[in-house]
Every structure is written in C-alpha cells, then in structure tokens.
Chains A and B, each alone.
Chain A
C-alpha cells in the first residue's frame, strides 16, 4: 500500500517547477494572445529534451528516462502551473502512447528521435462534425502493399506547426488504429486555428496521403488488450487533466496570496467567509482532482479494467475544477483581476482551453454513463418499446 508521490517524483516536481518558472516568461503567454501562437523557444525545447523530460516515462533502451506514468503527469502538472506552451505536452503524450502500443521496430525507429527532441510527434485525434473522441472516427487508414493511405480531417490538433509527424487515429476496417504520418507528406495541409489561450492549434487535412513503410499501429500490444486509438486518447486526456490540476493550484495559490494581503474594511479580505469559504471549497476540489488523477494514473499503468472510467473521471472533474478555480481566482482579485496585466486571465484561458480538449466534462460523463451501464446486471423483465 503506497499511494503517494515517491522521493523521485517530488524531486522531479521541484526541479521542473523551478526550471519552468525561470525559463518560461509568462509575459510571452500574454503577448501570444495578440500574436499567436505561444512558442517555446528552440533553446528551451532542447534543454527540456536534454533533461530527459520528453521521454520521462519512456523505455530506457530507446533513450527514455525510464520513469513511470506518474512522472509524466508530474511534469504535465508543472507545465500547467507555469503556463508552459507546447509542443512539450503533446510530444510527451504521443511518446507514451507509442511506447504503449507500437511494435518494437516502430518504437525503435520513432521514440529515440522523439525523446531526443530531434523530431516532434503530436497526436491528431478529434474530428469535425460534433462527435468527439475515438469512438466515431471518419478518417480512414488503408493498408497498401508499400505502406498505407490516409484520408480524413483532424481538428484541435496541438502544435501542428511544429510537428514533424502526426500520430493519427483512424479506422482500418473494423478496428481503430493509429498511424504515424510525416507532416511533409504530399496531401497533408495544416490550417492554423486560434486557441483561447494562444497556444498552437490547427486543423490538419489528409487528402489521400500515401505513407511508405510500416507505420500502422494496430491492436495487439496495447496494455489491457485495448484499442491503440482509445488508449492514445486516454493518455492525452490524462496528461491534459494533470495540466489542469497545475492550472487550478496556481490559480488557488494566487487567490490565497491576494486574500492574505489585500485589506478592506480594516481586515484582510481572506478573513471574510465569502472569500475564505470559496477558497476552502477549491482546496476540496483540487484535492479530489489530485486523488482521481492518481487513481486514473495507477489504473492506466496497471491496465486495469476501470482505467477508462477513471481517466474520464479525472478529466471531467479537473475540467470543472479548473474553470471554477480560475474564475474564482479572478473574482477574488477584484478590479485588478480583470486586467490584461494580471496573469489570472491567462490561467482562466488555459483552464477553458484544457477543459475543452480531449473531451469536455460532459463527453466524459457520458462515457462513464455508457461504461457503467455496460456493467449493470441485466434487469429482468422484457424491455418496453
């Protein structure tokens, strides 16, 4: 029985928090709102790669750091706390997804370059049309004798402008699969989208894109016998939930600091329960979120049956919590909270963007409803029609 962060996790968290605060100037997140997208300088990308962060949970023989999934979530949380932009989290998530599902030769070919920061791989999962997630894909991946052909449209793709290749989900016959498609392949078109928080995002069109070689990742190796596309989406979802936890805690810390300092009517505003109780409720929300995140992380790492439900639980909860925490933080700051100069709105924007990424709260609640219904003992009696 051990359900806490280890010494290594704590050390990683501390160094990540310090490094991000030092190297990522949050003013750049603000400036990017007028001139999107927010960009991590190449020097920082290289530094992150050399620290082993991109492959923090990656297999060591392939250049990864050999940490566990929790280590990746620790970094995702710190990225959220420090407003660090992509392509770090998309690349981190793509690497984990490939490490979990790809065949050995594919992993050997792709992961070393990714972990070293030489190539940027990002997931391309959601599609236009209003049905989200890997359950209803229109993109097709068709094997040919030289490789495969991809047809389809992806939206909300993070950091497509920096990507050397996309890890894309699609249908191949009856199964959902992943395929790795180089961004320079003929027929790939990247159309920038504007994201609420200024981070890079795009629509990516794949028009009869031919890819040579074996880049199709089918079922077989995915932990727990699942579908690779579902598993990859769950990993991105979990990373996003961790990002939102960092955002929520940062917002709570800002609001708490202000509530201690700001005096009105002769007392710090934090001595008024209209303020302090809202902050206390945020403690409850973030602690519950952290607990769900840990639970989901462990279930994914061990590929337990309830892993998909728990991933959805963590994401639904953190989506709501991050919005609540950042809105509250803004309100607690009064007029100054409503200014462009204060960082609170940057957190609110990141919260709103993350909450809407990889399935919003209702998407995940509906998914849980479906998964729970599948477990219900079948009720006796004929169905009424």
Chain B
C-alpha cells in the first residue's frame, strides 16, 4: 500500500500550483451563481466564463477527454491533483461543469463527428453554457416517466412539454434533454436524447427561487420548438441507454473531500472564536466530540476515495461503490452544516447583514445547499435502492 503520487505527478502538481498562484488573486471575488442575491449577476457570469477560458487555455479543462476532442488525456491521478489544487486555492467552480462532465463524455461516446466538432470546443472554452433538461413535474426519481413530446416533421423534431428544476437555465445557451419520441413503446424505449438551442422560438425559461433564496434552477416550457434532427444524439428512441452510460462516468469522489475538509476547518475556527458560557465552544466536550465525528467522516471519505481511485488505476470498474461515496458525501455535508448551526447556538437564527451574525451567515447558506444535495442528481433513496440491488443483490426495491 502506498498513497504517494509519482514524481511525474508531483511535478505536474507543482506546475499547476505555481500557475494558480499567479491567477488566484485576480480571480478572487468572482462570486457564485448558486449563492444568490449577487448584485451584478451578469458581471459575475462573465467573470466565471473568463475564468474557465483562462483555465482551458492553460490546459486544465477537459482533463478526462481524449486529445483528439480537445481534451487533455490526463491520467486519473492528474485529474485528482487538479481537483485537489483547485479546491485548495478556493478558486471558483468551472461554470460549464454540467457540459464538461455530462454532455461532453456523452458526445465523445455517442455523438456524430459533426456534433463533436460543432459542440465540444465551445463546451471547453465556456463560449456556450449548457443545462440539463431531464426532470419534469411528473418525472423525477421516476425519470423514464417523462412526457415531453417530440414529433418528426420534415427534417425537424417538434418539441412540446415542460421541464423543471433545470439548473442554470437562464444563462444557458444550450440544453441537452430527454424527450418522448415513441409514445406507444414501453416507457424506456421511446425516449430520445436531443440538443436544443435555448434561443429557439418557443422556449420559455421561468426562473424559480430555491429554498435558500437563490436563483439556481428554473422551469423551462417548450411550445412547438423545432430542433433539427441532426441534433439527436445516438439513435432515435435510443436515449435512455445513452443517459445510463453517462451516469457510469463516475469519479473517485476525492475532489469533494477537499472542500469538505476546508469547510470543517472553517468550522473549527468558528468554534474556537465563539464563546459559550465564557469558554470557546470548541472546548465544550459535546462539541469536541461532534467535531471529532465530522473529522472521522471526512477522513473516511478521503480513504474511500483513495480505494476507488486505486481500483480505477488498476483498471477495475469501481461500479456501484461510487454510489456509496456519493450518498455518504451528501450526508457528511449536511452533518457539517448542522453541527455548525448547533455551534452557533441561539445565534443560528441571525441572518446575514444583521448585527451579531456569525460568519456573515455562511452556515445557513451551506445548510440549505447541503439539503439540496441529497435531492438533486438522484435522491438519497434512489442511491440506497441502487446499493441494495447492485451491491447486495436484493430484489428490486420500491421502484415498481
């Protein structure tokens, strides 16, 4: 057993670190869309696009993509290193993450040459931002129940329907979506995967305010939107299998560990600064135990991540075990924010821009964000179903 990266990898890390050192200060205060209430949102978005472009030009975007498609063909360990260093430097997230992590790999695997040439470069450079139009009012966990229709008419597909919870829709240029193209086929067999220009006539975006107060997701209405049939990915009616295959592009989860670690060390600092009965809260035994438990959980995720990475490096598919990491990561995120609000005590109710607010209200934002984490991208229950069926081999559970 050996957790060290190779000297070559460490060299790569040093290069990245010194490159980041040169750029971090310039990028500070870039703002995040998800946090909501930003004063000049358009400016923030432009900065985020610029930041991705800068990263791309330096060779740090599209790491897992093959070189022939504009990627870096980076090794798994290099991908981990980049994620670690970006978290360490607290630089903004890449704004086109949905395009980079979901659509890009899908097009590389299933797209036509012309689709790849048309879309991939602009995903990398953030020239075109993407959103994911999968969920619908009647199709959440039961995604295959989606109703949005697409009918062939000449060379076009005409799309009518209702998508919801679409993250980043107001700023997205394009949307990859699932639609029903054969209503007579069994649920999973009549679905197609489409690419839709968000500026097409008939597309209407209605932003929703989320529980935390931010604008993050939207409803998107499609009213006879014409999409040229060359924008179908894969076979007509073959969309479901394509979606499944992209979900298999699982990560080791190591990238998430660093942000949790940082969150936890900020919390320790808060617990050291705050007083309870005249003493730093961190010295209270119950609080100390809670913080110790959070530390244990984050370390557990770290070493789970190393096990997953190790299996990937050995050429084994980590498979369903990544759902263990995802499920647990969202749980830890929630526990950290709950512990934070407990540490704040009675001040947990005081919000930002108020006298006596703790850490400018950061933990309430983190708290809401963490609650959304076990809903978006598959709820905790869906992950438990997957673990029960695919790891334990239990009979199909709770999904009809």
Contacts and interface: CB of A to CB of B under 8 A. Distances in A.
A368 B296 contact: yes
Interface stretch (A38-46, A166-174, A215-223, A310-318): A310-318
Interface stretch (A56-64, A137-145, A288-296): A288-296
Interface string B68-80: 0000000001000
A290 to B, nearest CB: 8
B12 interface: no
B321 interface: yes
Contacts of A369: 285, 288-289, 291-292
B309 interface: yes
A273 B307 contact: no
Contacts of A290: 307
Interface string A352-374: 00000000001001101110110
A291 B309 CA distance: 12
A277 interface: yes
A298 interface: yes
Nearest to A364: B292
B275 A292 contact: no
A60 B384 CA distance: 46
B311 A4 contact: yes
B262 interface: no
Q: Is the interface of B mostly helix, strand, loop or mixed?
A: helix
Contact of A267 (B77, B272, B278, B395): B395
Interface stretch (B154-162, B344-352, B385-393): B385-393
B277 to A, nearest CB: 10
Interface stretch (B1-9, B46-54, B188-196, B236-244): B1-9
A317 B3 contact: no
Task: State the majority secondary structure of interface residues on A.
Answer: helix
Contacts of B328: 284, 288
Given A271-B396, A295-B303, A276 B2 contact: no
A4, A256, A284, A313, most chain B CB atoms within 10 A: A284
A287 interface: yes
B303 A283 contact: no
Contacts of A272: 397-398
Contact of A1 (B4, B296, B300, B388): B4
Nearest to B1: A298
A313 to B, nearest CB: 4
B291 A287 contact: no
A3 B394 contact: no
A25 interface: no
Contacts of B396: 271
A39 to B, nearest CB: 35
B324 interface: yes
A310 to B, nearest CB: 7
A3 to B, nearest CB: 4
Contacts of B295: 309, 313, 368, 372
Given A292-B303, A376-B272, A3 B1 contact: yes
Given A284-B324, A292-B299, A3 B395 contact: no
Contacts of A271: 394-398
Nearest to A4: B310
A83 interface: no
B248 interface: no
A279 B1 contact: no
Nearest to A70: B1
A270 B387 contact: no
A280 B387 contact: yes
B314 interface: yes
Contact of A313 (B278, B279, B299): B299
A300 B330 CA distance: 29
B83 interface: no
A294 B394 contact: no
A6 B1 CA distance: 8
Given A1-B313, A4-B307, A280-B384, A379 B272 contact: yes
A348 B31 CA distance: 51
A279 B280 CA distance: 39
B381 interface: yes
Contacts of A256: 392-394
Nearest to A297: B1
A273 B385 contact: yes
A379 B310 CA distance: 38
A276 B386 CA distance: 10
A70 B309 CA distance: 19
Contacts of B269: 376, 379
B288 A283 contact: no
Interface in B250-284: 268-269, 272-273, 275, 278-280, 282-283
Contact of A294 (B1, B285, B385): B1
7 contacts: A1-B3, A3-B2, A256-B393, A279-B394, A309-B299, A316-B292, A376-B268
Given A298-B3, A309-B299, 6 more contacts: A3-B309, A68-B1, A271-B395, A288-B328, A291-B300, A372-B292
Top 8 nearest A-B pairs by Cβ distance? Answer: A369-B288, A295-B303, A291-B303, A276-B388, A368-B292, A280-B387, A270-B394, A280-B384
